[in-house]
Amino acid sequence: NAGVTQTPKFRVLKTGQSMTLLCAQDMNHEYMYWYRQDPGMGLRLIHYSVGEGTTAKGEVPDGYNVSRLKKQNFLLGLESAAPSQTSVYFCASRDWVGTEAFFGQGTRLTVV
Amino acid sequence: DAKTTQPTSMDCAEGRAANLPCNHSTISGNEYVYWYRQIHSQGPQYIIHGLKNNETNEMASLIITEDRKSSTLILPHATLRDTAVYYCNPSSGSARQLTFGSGTQLTVLP
């Protein structure tokens, strides 16, 4: 049972490049979340999904897009990366009944 | 979700109990109190949760006041590996968003 897996673990992008981060969970959870965490700061919610085919904006959605075509996968896209998007990105999932959330190990993204 | 207030940082001697407080005075009746911790650079990890009664598991104990406006997470015998940021997170089953406050940086000292 892998839980929540994020791919890739590390990435360096040049300004203006695009990329997609993948979050996969094998627990059949309805809710999935993407966060960013800047150095010394807390978790900020980017986008979330409450089920397959749904997405919604969180606290800091600008510059990001998401898709949930399959229940087990939640994709985070950066269309035109900016240095301000340098951060560690965490994905999480939980069941709809409000049980505990499970987090991935993070993706460290650097935009130069 | 209820707003939370936690100390920015706390120290605890190794082997002693660590008591981490959280104020959640605006908590609603259907919100559970969840606690998570984040060890440096890792993904946050669930610790424990409760609604009204005190709870205990292999990691920690959770004490919730009778009026549910505050709670305390207790690590009975803190070790160096318990050094982490601890987040108090009231949440209900109907809540769609899952957001976190700033948490408490607990440093366990040798």
Whether B21 has its CB under 8 Å from any CB of chain A: the answer is no
For B70-83, what is each residue's pLDDT tens digit? 999 999 999 999 99
**How far, in Å, CA of B39 to CA of B53, rounded?**
27
* Pairing state between β B104-109 and B9-13: parallel
**How far, in Å, CA of A78 to CA of A61, rounded?**
11
Is residue B1 pLDDT above 90, yes or no? Answer: no
Q: What is the mean pLDDT of residues B38-58?
A: 93
Q: What would the two tokens of residue B16 be? A: 């002693």
Is residue A1 pLDDT above 70, yes or no? Answer: no
Q: In which region does residue A106 sit, left (phi positive, over 0), alpha (psi from -120 to 50) or beta (all else)?
A: left
For A49-94, what is each residue's pLDDT tens digit? 999 999 999 999 999 999 999 999 999 999 999 999 999 999 999 9
Least confident of A9-13, A107-111, B1-5: B1-5
Is residue B44 pLDDT above 80, yes or no? Answer: yes
Mutate to test the interface with A, among B96, B102, B105 (most CBs of A within 10 A): B96
B39 Cα to chain A: minimum distance (Å): 11
- The 3-state DSSP composition of chain B as helix, strand, coil percent (nearest 5) reads 5, 45, 50
Question: Cβ A106–B92 below 8 Å, yes or no?
Answer: no
| A4 CB burial (10 A radius; 0-12, 13-18, 19+) | buried
Q: Say what the pLDDT of residue B90 is.
A: 87
Q: Chain A to chain B, count of Cβ pairs less than 8 Å apart?
A: 58
Q: Say what the pLDDT of residue B93 is.
A: 64
From the list A88, A97, A101, the residue facing B98 with the nearest CB is: A101
DSSP symbol at B5: B
Q: What is the mean pLDDT of residues A3-31?
A: 96
Please give the mean pLDDT across all residues of chain A. Answer: 94
If pLDDT is split at 50, 70 and 90, which confidence band does A40 have?
A: confident
Phi and psi at residue A85, to the nearest 5°: -95, 5
More confident: B105 or B53: B105
Instruction: Report cis status (omega within 30 of 0) of the bond before A8.
Output: yes
- Sheet containing A65-67: give its strands across: A4-7, A19-25, A73-78, A65-67
Please give the mean pLDDT across all residues of chain B. Answer: 92
Residue of A nearest to B39 (CA): A105
- Non-local (6+) Cβ contacts of B87 within 8 A are A42, B6, B35, B36, B37, B38, B44, B100, B101, B103
